[in-house]
Amino acid sequence: MDFKRHIAANIKAGELSEEEIYSMLALPPNTEMGDFALPCFKLAKTMRKAPALIAEDIKSAYPADDPLVSEVSAVNGYVNFKIDRAFWAKETLGRVLTEREKYGASDEGKGKTVCIDYSSVNIAKPFHIGHLSTTVLGSALYKLHKFLGYTPVGINHLGDYGTQFGKLISAYKRWGKKEDIEKGGLRALNALYVRFHEEAEKDDSLNDEARAFFKKIEDKDEESVALFEWFKELTLKDVGKIYDLLNVHFDSWAGESFYNDKMQPVIDELNEKGLLVESEGAKIVDLEKYGMPPCIILRSDGASLYATRDIAAAIYRKNTYDFYKCLYVVAYQQNLHFKQFFKVLELMGKEWAKDLVHVAFGMVSLEDGSMSTRKGRVVYLEDVIQKCIEKALAIITEKNPSLENKEEIAKTVGVGAVIFGALYNNKIKDITFSYDKVLNFEGETSCYVQYTCARANSVLAKGGTAKDFAIGQVLPQEFELVKQLSEFPATLKDALEKYEPCFIARYAVDLAQKYNKFYFDCKILNAEEKERNFRLALTEATLITLKNALSLLGIGVPEKM
């Protein structure tokens, strides 16, 4: 039940509508003051009265017989409302314990398809720590949309087109060995690529050779296309392993090359609409009026560009999925690119261009020095995940040597640490990834949350789950927990609206902290029966909610730790 809604509906404040009151209701800094507060300062002007007097009036007008509200007070220009705690607890626990793994879900997105373009790896290029954020952010947004009733379409817009593939073929034919590449996968391919650049610096003719090979791919030369397809297959096999580990899923792998035959109609349309102009041999859309450099559609040699493909892709997605929104989870370095091609679509008269959203995020660097792809100093994502799993295993072994299934648990903990580490901060912030920080069992981490779940599991294993519980007096620690539990659905809504999975991560840490405070302050198993049952119900509701939160981020929860 939405208590805020209930209170808003009962408040009478001049001409204000229920909606306006609802949006004004705030949370007081501490629960001793109240559970909701209505600030009256903004009303003083229109009502021509001092805020303190307005607060008094609103208080007196509030129905005295509302069973949900145990106290209304007017203090310093605020009207404070206290919800009946037992009522709140009963409502909330009732809901969590019946809805269970569906708690927090809704159907607000019913009938709405949302395309989410994320991870979008480049074929034959290293899948490095820089790809972590787009992958886990996109995946969390995918799961969140699904949970709230939307139909998400996960798209991996593969970087599978460009001159670099000519370079790769040239390098492979010169120095590559089939068995080595088969064994070494992505890393072996990248080594070839790095070697090509070194050698091409000494011998420029290599670049001509690469261009010729690229042309061969475009002309559908059998051998070149077969090599390219093989590189693609090797890449997808390697990244597939990482996607499996991270619980990441895609519905479409239509990459850049998919749009090879879908760009001509776009170019024709741009021409018809008089948007395409010639500039130094290239064809561009002039965006000067909008304070941006031109969007280049065709290079002077007639080749299409990244933006051309993105325009074709957006049109294709609209036609295929009739999306409600199309999200691009891509680093902020590409801000201009997205602004440009969104604008071009708008100028083409696509009214749906307003539904394209660039979900930008900051950079991830490693604590022990930044990385540079060009010099070959690459931190592979796979290595980061493996290292986290190993470290998790060492910690778990030290904490609980007799634990069964340690390897499996370490995997869940290690992978969780990587995902949570990337999702804990507002997405636009640059972050420094630290192994010690993400694996700190007492920190704001997934392992802290997972550990709390293991604690709750062990309480329930000893005490059983409460079938029936009556609620008497609710202690502050219990009430804090109840309130936090009841905020889960609103937190998810908010996270989706702002495209911020970090709200869910923070929520999980908050809930775990509140449970642990409750756990240490209130005895559960040795309490009297009535309290014991209520506290077991609180424990179970916490476990359910924490699991739901983590699973939306792609993180599992071991039974024991």
Which residues contact ligand ARG (rule: CB under 6 A)? Answer: 117, 120, 122, 157, 159, 310, 328, 330
Q: What is the distance between the alpha carbons of residues 243 and 384, in angstroms, rounded to a whole number?
A: 14
Cβ–Cβ under 8 Å, residues 515 and 452: yes
Nearest approach, Cβ of 379 to ligand ARG (angstroms)?
Answer: 16
Classify residue 408 as exposed, middle or buried by CB count within 10 Å of its CB (0-12, 13-18, 19+).
Answer: exposed
Non-local CB neighbours of 230 within 8 Å, separated by 6+ positions: none
Instruction: Fill in the DSSP letter of residue 115.
Output: E
CB-nearer residue toward ligand ARG: 323 or 328: 328
The two three-digit tokens of residue 230, written as one number:
């093989």
φ/ψ region of 153 (left if φ > 0, alpha if ψ in -120 to 50, else beta) reads: beta
Cβ–Cβ under 8 Å, residues 492 and 148: yes
CB-nearer residue toward ligand ARG: 317 or 483: 317
CB-nearer residue toward ligand ARG: 298 or 329: 329
CB-nearer residue toward ligand ARG: 350 or 535: 350
Cβ–Cβ under 8 Å, residues 419 and 397: no
Non-local CB neighbours of 115 within 8 Å, separated by 6+ positions: 152, 153, 155, 317, 321, 323, 325, 326, 327
Nearest approach, Cβ of 316 to ligand ARG (angstroms)?
Answer: 11
Q: What is the DSSP string of 95-160?
A: HHHHHGGGTT---TTTT-EEEEE---PBTTS--BGGGHHHHHHHHHHHHHHHHTT-EEEEE---B-
CB-nearer residue toward ligand ARG: 116 or 419: 116
Residue type for 265, please?
P
Nearest approach, Cβ of 330 to ligand ARG (angstroms)?
Answer: 5
CB-nearer residue toward ligand ARG: 216 or 358: 358
Nearest approach, Cβ of 419 to ligand ARG (angstroms)?
Answer: 20
Would you say the C-alpha torsion 434, 436, 438, 444 has a positive or negative sign?
negative
Non-local CB neighbours of 191 within 8 Å, separated by 6+ positions: 184
CB-nearer residue toward ligand ARG: 3 or 142: 142
Nearest approach, Cβ of 232 to ligand ARG (angstroms)?
Answer: 14
Cβ–Cβ under 8 Å, residues 73 and 59: yes
Nearest approach, Cβ of 308 to ligand ARG (angstroms)?
Answer: 11
Cβ–Cβ under 8 Å, residues 457 and 559: yes
Q: What is the distance between the alpha carbons of residues 279 and 216, in angstroms, rounded to a whole number?
A: 28
Kindly list the distances between the CA atom of residue 315 and the CA atoms of 145, 342, 349, in Å, as whole numbers in the listed order: 22, 11, 12
Nearest approach, Cβ of 355 to ligand ARG (angstroms)?
Answer: 15
Helices vs. strands in the chain: H and E counts, helices first: 21, 12
Nearest approach, Cβ of 361 to ligand ARG (angstroms)?
Answer: 12
Cβ–Cβ under 8 Å, residues 131 and 381: yes
Nearest approach, Cβ of 122 to ligand ARG (angstroms)?
Answer: 5
CB-nearer residue toward ligand ARG: 312 or 418: 312
Q: What is the distance between the alpha carbons of residues 375 and 426, in angstroms, rounded to a whole number?
A: 30
Cβ–Cβ under 8 Å, residues 498 and 360: no
CB-nearer residue toward ligand ARG: 164 or 207: 164
The two three-digit tokens of residue 495, written as one number:
């996270």
Q: Are strands 69-75 and 78-83 parallel, antiparallel or unpaired?
A: antiparallel
CB-nearer residue toward ligand ARG: 342 or 424: 342
CB-nearer residue toward ligand ARG: 141 or 541: 141
CB-nearer residue toward ligand ARG: 80 or 119: 119
Nearest approach, Cβ of 337 to ligand ARG (angstroms)?
Answer: 7
Nearest approach, Cβ of 137 to ligand ARG (angstroms)?
Answer: 13
Q: What is the distance between the alpha carbons of residues 556 and 366, in angstroms, rounded to a whole number?
A: 24
Nearest approach, Cβ of 159 to ligand ARG (angstroms)?
Answer: 4
CB-nearer residue toward ligand ARG: 317 or 532: 317
Nearest approach, Cβ of 334 to ligand ARG (angstroms)?
Answer: 7
Cβ–Cβ under 8 Å, residues 381 and 132: yes
CB-nearer residue toward ligand ARG: 77 or 159: 159
Classify residue 127 as exposed, middle or buried by CB count within 10 Å of its CB (0-12, 13-18, 19+).
Answer: buried
Cβ–Cβ under 8 Å, residues 502 and 427: yes
Kindly list the distances between the CA atom of residue 181 and the CA atoms of 128, 175, 184, 186, in Å, as whole numbers in the listed order: 19, 11, 5, 8
Element spanning 43, H or E: helix 43-47
Nearest approach, Cβ of 525 to ligand ARG (angstroms)?
Answer: 52
**CB-facing half-sphere around the CA of 162: CA atoms within 13 A:** 16
